[in-house]
A and B are shown apart, each in its own frame.
Chain A
Amino acid sequence: MDGLSEARKGIAPRGALEARNTDTVEFAAATPEAEQPFKELGLTEDEYAKIRQILGRRPTAAELALYSVMWSEHCSYKSSKVHLRNLAPRGAQTDKLLAGIGANAGVVDIGQGYAVTFKIESHNHPSFVEPHQGAATGVGGIVRDILAMGARPVAVMDALRFGPADAHDTARVLPGVVSGISFYGNCLGLPNIGGELSFDPCYAGNPLVNALCVGVMRHADLKAAVASGLGNKVVLFGSRTGPDGVGGASVLASSTFAGDAEDGSVGSGGAAAKRPSVQVGDPFMEKLLIECCLELFAGDLVEGIQDLGAAGVACATTELAAGGGAQVGMRVDLDLVPLRDPSLTPAEILMSESQERMMAIVTPGKAGEFAAVCAKWDVEATVIGEVTGDGVLTMTWRGGTVVSIPPETAADGPVYSRPLARPAAQDELAADGPAMPRPGDGAPLRQALLALLGSADLADKAWVTQQYDAIVRGNTVLAMPEDGGLLRVDEDTHLGIALATDGNGRYCRLDPYLGTQLALAEAYRNVAMTGARPMAVTNCLNFGSPEDPGVMWQLAEAVRGLADGCATLGIPVTGGNVSLYNQTGQMAIHPTPVIGVLGVHDDVRRRVSAGFGANEATIIVLGETRDELGGSAWAHVAHGHLGGIPPAVDLAAEQRLAGLIAVAAAAGLLASAHDLSDGGLAIALAESCLRGGNGCSIDLDDVSPQAFTALFSESAGRAVVTVRPEQAAEFAALAHSHGVPAAAIGTVTGDSLQVNGQFDIPLDELAAVWQGTLPALFG
């Protein structure tokens, strides 16, 4: 293989290790009674027995490591798979889908020959252990997922949830997470165009760091993660493999999981030493890897490709081999894997989560060209094996065979139908609606608005978003604090894509089915507010322990809600990620499905912003306002209360609203559009005033007879838009024809938020309250 580096020289001080037995397949077959540390690796007795049954012998240390990571909850989705099947797109949902669930990320046709791929993934646990590196490598991992589909990554977003804003540990975790995201994303040159930030005691000790990436490609560039072609080369390229995050995917974290031959357990095939679970990312290497891969794709030099994420080489080899079909096998020589630390054992090489690595399948005839492209980008590339026709994944190390398994048995993993039960306390929770005294009028309402606006959840996020580069690459049209991020895809046709992520743990705690649909509805609405048409959904399901039947019920309900919601809206779920075990002791987080929606914008020059920019424009509330305060921001902020039922969901109404906004935006009728969600109309008005630098004069009577309900109810399916006076009649007719209730409630004017008969708040005062919170907390 010209140019590709040969077997690494000077691999290790072999003498030190040869004294011990390598745990080869032959040795394993001869020593069936050897004790193996399967429990420390996170496998159950049953799972270990199943592995022995599959292999007809005990696994070698390397095989045990491989199965342990591949069968971990993180990689196998063993608890969630039975439910996730409900998300498979059906019928009309698949019309625009080029690749769906199961691929690294779903791919959607957005027209004009373009395809878009996007996905959101969790990096919760690593971000708690080491916030900066954990969050940074979360960005790096999702970017490689998108790259592996053949797309150029074009933007990222982050949905973040932390413990109480004023908690001591939040002061450690949040700044670290934000600096990690900004460090990695900014160095990589990818704009961060939005996301979420919220706080709740349930996330103390279990912060949620969910990273989304979106990529764009031409239809023809779509790549598959399969190995094919007898004799094709298996190439590992990118960073070297080191002792990073070994076993991070399984639950071992802190145990030394194999002794040496002396204590009767398996020898040097096991992991020798306690290894760090912290992975350190290198965004500059990732940037090289991106450009290198895109040139490889352009030259048609790869047959199949897979990124290395959790479970590293173990995952990439088994998934590529299993993806190739029953006859496809793979032979890998682990001695050829370029190592940063020569003392790594085969098990560690397989489990290492070293960052910035990819694996490609390359025909022998193109190997030279492949190597030349990698050399040009300073990316180390090494042939470590080849595709075989025996249906077996075989790995050798120092002359012995250390892995010999049917790859699909590792890739598919077990499937559990875990017990689920609606928690008994659920009814009690639903019955405990927010019956607290409500501010009646004037000064108390004013005070309630300011308290909400200055709360950590609703305050200005600039302290965070200013650390992110939102405009690098020059195609960002809208970014935080707008409702959705909007990117230009084509400079000539002005085709664009819009993205938003939403989740509301409080709603989901009250009713996971409705709460998930509310998150879907909000993300859908946020995308629509830019003028885009929502097209596809990704999701990151953050839950507690699947071994708790109550948590499993939440998960099942959330998935059912998402599946039903997407079917009603006619848009597919293209992929996602599940993060379980987000709990400390018996305290699980609120069920927190984070839903990402992608939309297509036909002409980004017609995008709509949330700010009140046009003086004297008419302010219109779209949708119906009911008295819905269960799980609301008001109940949370003013009373620390969580109970009742969340707002009703009407997805048909959401569709009508989105349709109206798209048509009105295209016709140039909208001066602004902002969705109503947390904090209701009060917060939306304040945000639109501050964003646009204009005040407003409002009458609430046509929203609701109670001023409090009008201001703070969180009824879904609503938006506040502004329309220039001369276009108001045309817009009203359009709203009517779309079946969207529209109430003119005031005018953009002056420099205060004035609610007639109630209160008046100067913009300066609003701004001070809104902008002061995060800097006061985090410097």
Chain B
Amino acid sequence: MARVIVDVMLKSEIHDPQGEAVLSASHRLGFGNVTGVRQGKRFELDIDGPAGDAALARAEELARELLANPVIEEFSLSFVE
């Protein structure tokens, strides 16, 4: 049993209206030191079998096909013990 974390973020050049909304709300709440916000998603996948390259490759396939939109998003994968 392994757990793969998939972090999905909009590519840096893609407009992120949600992040901007969080930024302006931060300022309204008095967190004036926050100068930028980008919002993303995190997935935790529980996977049968050992935490190895094969599991990671499958998770990457899934991320590309379902979890992220590769046209406008990028993602990274990692294991947790």
B71:A280 contact, CB within 8 angstroms? no
Q: Given A130-B69, A278-B14, A280-B17, list of 18 further CB < 8 A pairs?
A: A130-B72, A239-B15, A243-B13, A276-B11, A276-B13, A276-B14, A276-B72, A278-B71, A280-B14, A280-B15, A280-B16, A281-B17, A282-B15, A282-B17, A284-B17, A341-B13, A354-B15, A355-B15
* Nearest-Cβ distance from residue A281 to partner chain B, whole angstroms: 8
Nearest B residue (CB) for A343 = B13
- The CB with the most chain A CB atoms within 10 A, among B13, B15, B21, B69, is that of B15
Which are the 8 A-B pairs with shortest beta-carbon distances? A282-B17, A280-B15, A130-B71, A243-B13, A278-B72, A276-B13, A242-B15, A244-B15
B17:A285 contact, CB within 8 angstroms? yes
A78 at the interface (CB under 8 A from B): no
Query: A residues within 8 A CB of B16?
Result: 280
* B-contacting residues, A226-270, CB 8 Å: 239, 242-244
A55 at the interface (CB under 8 A from B): no
14 A-B interface contacts by CB (under 8 A): A133-B72, A239-B15, A242-B13, A276-B13, A276-B14, A276-B72, A278-B72, A279-B15, A280-B10, A280-B72, A282-B17, A284-B17, A354-B15, A355-B15
B71:A340 contact, CB within 8 angstroms? no
Also in contact, A284 and B71, with CB within 8 A (given A242-B13, A243-B13): no
* A-contacting residues, B15-29, CB 8 Å: 15-17, 20-21
Nearest B residue (CB) for A242 = B15
- Bound together, the chains give a CA A382 to CA B2 distance in angstroms of 53
Chain B residues within 8 Å of chain A by Cβ, number: 12
A129 at the interface (CB under 8 A from B): yes
* A-contacting residues, B27-60, CB 8 Å: none
- Bound together, the chains give a CA A278 to CA B17 distance in angstroms of 14
Q: Is the interface of A mostly helix, strand, loop or mixed?
A: loop
Query: B residues within 8 A CB of A278?
Result: 14, 71-72
- Bound together, the chains give a CA A127 to CA B12 distance in angstroms of 21
Nearest A residue (CB) for B11 = A276
Nearest B residue (CB) for A283 = B17
* Nearest-Cβ distance from residue A348 to partner chain B, whole angstroms: 11
A81 at the interface (CB under 8 A from B): no
On B, residues with C-beta under 8 Å from A are: 10-11, 13-17, 20-21, 69, 71-72
- Give the number of A-B contacts (CB < 8 Å): 37
* B-contacting residues, A92-151, CB 8 Å: 129-130, 133
- Bound together, the chains give a CA A284 to CA B14 distance in angstroms of 17
A641 at the interface (CB under 8 A from B): no
A656 at the interface (CB under 8 A from B): no
Query: A residues within 8 A CB of B72?
Result: 130, 133, 276, 278, 280
- The CB with the most chain B CB atoms within 10 A, among A275, A276, A281, A355, is that of A276
* Nearest-Cβ distance from residue B70 to partner chain A, whole angstroms: 10
Query: B residues within 8 A CB of A285?
Result: 17
Query: A residues within 8 A CB of B13?
Result: 242-243, 275-276, 341
* Nearest-Cβ distance from residue B9 to partner chain A, whole angstroms: 13
* Nearest-Cβ distance from residue A65 to partner chain B, whole angstroms: 18
- Bound together, the chains give a CA A223 to CA B13 distance in angstroms of 35
Query: B residues within 8 A CB of A275?
Result: 13
* Nearest-Cβ distance from residue A637 to partner chain B, whole angstroms: 32
Query: B residues within 8 A CB of A281?
Result: 17
B69:A284 contact, CB within 8 angstroms? no
* Nearest-Cβ distance from residue A357 to partner chain B, whole angstroms: 12
Query: A residues within 8 A CB of B20?
Result: 282
Nearest A residue (CB) for B17 = A282
- Bound together, the chains give a CA A244 to CA B11 distance in angstroms of 12
- Bound together, the chains give a CA A340 to CA B13 distance in angstroms of 9
- Bound together, the chains give a CA A133 to CA B69 distance in angstroms of 11
- Bound together, the chains give a CA A129 to CA B69 distance in angstroms of 11
Nearest A residue (CB) for B72 = A278
- Bound together, the chains give a CA A355 to CA B20 distance in angstroms of 14
- Bound together, the chains give a CA A243 to CA B14 distance in angstroms of 8
Nearest A residue (CB) for B21 = A284
Per-residue interface assignment for chain A, residues 4 to 22, with 1 indicating a CB less than 8 Å from any chain B CB and 0 otherwise: 0000000000000000000
Nearest A residue (CB) for B15 = A280
Nearest B residue (CB) for A129 = B71
Query: B residues within 8 A CB of A354?
Result: 15
* Nearest-Cβ distance from residue B13 to partner chain A, whole angstroms: 5
* Nearest-Cβ distance from residue A139 to partner chain B, whole angstroms: 15
Query: A residues within 8 A CB of B10?
Result: 280
- Bound together, the chains give a CA A382 to CA B16 distance in angstroms of 21
* Nearest-Cβ distance from residue A184 to partner chain B, whole angstroms: 11
B21:A340 contact, CB within 8 angstroms? no
- Bound together, the chains give a CA A354 to CA B14 distance in angstroms of 10
Nearest B residue (CB) for A281 = B17
Query: A residues within 8 A CB of B14?
Result: 244, 276, 278, 280
* Nearest-Cβ distance from residue A277 to partner chain B, whole angstroms: 9
- Bound together, the chains give a CA A239 to CA B20 distance in angstroms of 11
- Bound together, the chains give a CA A355 to CA B16 distance in angstroms of 12
Query: B residues within 8 A CB of A282?
Result: 15, 17, 20
- Bound together, the chains give a CA A301 to CA B11 distance in angstroms of 39
* Nearest-Cβ distance from residue A420 to partner chain B, whole angstroms: 36
Query: B residues within 8 A CB of A280?
Result: 10, 14-17, 72
* Nearest-Cβ distance from residue B12 to partner chain A, whole angstroms: 9
Query: B residues within 8 A CB of A243?
Result: 13
* Nearest-Cβ distance from residue B66 to partner chain A, whole angstroms: 12
